Amino acid sequence: MHTIKEYIEKNKQRFIDELIELLKIPSISADTAFSQDVLNTADLIIKSLKDAGCDHVELCETPGYPIIYGEKIIDPKLPTVLIYGHYDVQPADPLDLWDSPPFEPVIKKTDLHPDGAIFARGACDDKGQMYMHVKALEYMTSEGKLPCNVKFMIEGEEEVGSESLAWFVPRNVEKLANDVILISDTGMIANNIPSITTGLRGLSYVEVEVTGPNRDLHSGLYGGAVANPINILSKMIASLHDENNHITIPGFYDKVEELSKEERDEMAKAPFSLEAYKNALDIDDVYGEKGYTTNERNSIRPTLDVNGIWGGYTGEGAKTVIASKAYAKISMRLVPNQNWEEITALFKSHFEKIAPKSVKVNVTPHHGGQGYVTPIDSKGYQAASKAYKETFDVTPIPQRSGGSIPIVALFEKELKSKTILMGFGLNSDAIHSPNEHFGIWNYLKGIETIPYFYTYFTELH
Ligand code: BES
Ligand code: MN
Ligand code: MN
């Protein structure tokens, strides 16, 4: 019999090696060139779940990438924890900004990770964090310490909007029945300041196309006399924020929940250094909605951001041209109560309305999802809080995150259970960016903390 600490000490090199194998496969869901790699990743996880002691593991076909389902039911009378994670990753580009290739994992020390961090796409989001749960299960089953039932549901389309999971969950409500959903796909404040994520923002993602003349034109012969779609698009985008950085779409804020002064005061107690924040990003000042702090701007307030903008000539040298078309991809991060479909519709009608007659505008919605907030007095939150207290020796701080996991709201609706977000990454781990990494310490600390969640949740239940 080993304690979890002893078990990790004995097996940590293997835990690291196994994660590295998983990280070598480029499971990029957004790019069909990698579809075989996405499928191969699913196979590897199937095998790892069997090895970790699941009694039953299956690859569930969907209209898109398959969903991995695994379970170990020790006694139907005991509570059931459902683990969710994703095996797909974001595209790795721009490749030239990586210090080492994104799918050739290397371990390097950093200021925040003096014990070393694994550098690879997906290290933190979400292969590393998902795999902590597989290794925690391995410990609990091999040492006879699993206190309750467990189910795993690992998908391959989170980074592209979880469409297949939204199809799968309502069709498998019985199979997925659980008492709490546990996810490690978020972050915490710092290694000595653990936090539990109590909120996620919703999302509405749209693409816009502005068309001017029917062909690209000589910018001398026609310039000044016809609308330049890129000029117009820039103007339209600029008009979406006012001088206070408030979003100007009529009705956009109608359902936004304003936090009470008490709640905002409570939030402001979370440790945060504006100087360190600016230094880490090499910026001289922050920027955002008037009347709100940085931590409020990126968690309890909705936003609108251009994610990409293109059109016209972007090759070498100069070309004098008025393009026929201009494009942008725009995301709106939403807060609980804002309905993403409503917001998408508001955006579309406003954007069409502000376009001058000289251009045509086309708005295409991509994916979206609802935000989420979870109370801190639930059994799941209490169990998580006690688990962190056990392994970090401090009580974690509840904190709302600015990121989105749109499927979480659907879990609550369909499966009627609360989600607990126990993330072990740091904001500086560069998820979605070049040089993504995950601290070895964080990886092992996650594996250490998870079994305590099972124990305390079973006790509290
Ligand atoms: N794991 C992230 C979300 C996240 C990260 C939440 C850190 C909180 C803290 C997830 O994989 C993600 O990237 N979600 C996307 C949305 C999705 C629909 C593409 C996002 O937030 O942009
Ligand atoms: Mn993720
Ligand atoms: Mn992600």
Q: How far, CA to CA in Å, does 230 sit from each of 66, 214, 256, 271, 446?
A: 40, 14, 32, 42, 47
The mean predicted confidence, pLDDT, of the chain is 97
Return the percentage of the chain with pLDDT > 90, whole number. 97
CA distance 99 to 113: 17
Tens of pLDDT, residue by residue over 4-30, are 999 999 999 999 999 999 999 999 999
CA of 239 to the centre of ligand 2 (A): 32
Q: What is the pLDDT of residue 325?
A: 98
Tens of pLDDT, residue by residue over 289-314, are 999 999 999 999 999 999 999 999 99
Q: What is the sign, positive or negative, of the torsion defined by CA atoms of 337, 274, 90, 129?
A: negative
Q: Which of 443, 446, 437, 423 is nearest to 189 (CA)?
A: 423
Ligand located closest to 159 CA: 1
Q: Check pLDDT > 90 for residue 87.
A: yes
Q: What is the pLDDT of residue 228?
A: 98
Q: Check pLDDT > 90 for residue 69.
A: yes
Q: Which of 18, 71, 88, 126 is catalytic?
A: 88
Ligand 2 is an ion; its neighbours by CB within 5 Å are 125-126, 185
CA of 122 to the centre of ligand 1 (A): 12
Q: Which of 343, 351, 247, 339 is nearest to 297 (CA)?
A: 247
Q: Check pLDDT > 90 for residue 367.
A: no
What's the mean pLDDT in 40-60?
98
Q: Which of 155, 158, 159, 436 is catalytic?
A: 158
Residue that is written with structure tokens 């391995």 in the block: 138
Residue bearing the CA closest to ligand 1, atom 13: 159
Q: Among the listed ranges 210-224, 254-268, 355-369, which one has the minimum average pLDDT value?
A: 254-268
Q: How far, CA to CA in Å, does 446 sit from each of 127, 147, 440?
A: 13, 18, 10
CA distance 74 to 149: 6
The two three-digit tokens of residue 241, written as one number = 């924020």
What's the mean pLDDT in 306-324?
97
Residue bearing the CA closest to ligand 1, atom 16: 404
Active site residue 37: no
Ligand 3 is an ion; its neighbours by CB within 5 Å are 125
Residue that is written with structure tokens 């360190």 in the block: 276
CA of 20 to the centre of ligand 1 (A): 22
CA of 84 to the centre of ligand 3 (A): 14
CA of 414 to the centre of ligand 2 (A): 21
What's the mean pLDDT in 152-180?
97
DSSP string over 353-407: HHS-TTSEEEEEEEEEE--EE--SSSHHHHHHHHHHHHHHSSPPEEEE-S---TH
- Band of pLDDT at residue 44, cut at 50, 70 and 90: very high
For residue 313, what is the DSSP state? -
CA distance 105 to 115: 16
Active site residue 88: yes
What's the mean pLDDT in 409-426?
97
Q: What is the pLDDT of residue 323?
A: 98
CA distance 149 to 302: 38
Residue bearing the CA closest to ligand 1, atom 20: 404
User: What are phi and psi for residue 39, nearest 5 degrees?
Assistant: -65, -40
Q: How far, CA to CA in Å, does 247 sit from each of 8, 174, 333, 366, 369?
A: 49, 42, 12, 20, 19
- Band of pLDDT at residue 240, cut at 50, 70 and 90: very high
Residue bearing the CA closest to ligand 1, atom 19: 159
85 and 407 Cβ atoms separated by less than 8 Å:
no
Residue bearing the CA closest to ligand 1, atom 4: 403
What's the mean pLDDT in 340-355?
98
What's the mean pLDDT in 318-327?
98
Q: Check pLDDT > 90 for residue 231.
A: yes
Q: Which one of 86, 157, 185 would you pick to mutate in the ligand 1 pocket, going by the greatest count of ligand atoms within 8 A of its CB? A: 185
What's the mean pLDDT in 101-112?
97
Ligand located closest to 404 CA: 1
Q: Check pLDDT > 90 for residue 236.
A: yes
Q: Check pLDDT > 90 for residue 288.
A: yes
CA of 86 to the centre of ligand 3 (A): 9
Beta pairing class for 397-400 and 195-200: parallel
What's the mean pLDDT in 230-250?
98
266 and 199 Cβ atoms separated by less than 8 Å:
no
Return the percentage of the chain with pLDDT > 70, whole number. 100
List, chain by chain if needed, residues with CB within 6 Å of any ligand 1 atom. Answer: 125-126, 158-159, 161, 185-187, 200, 203, 367, 401, 403-406
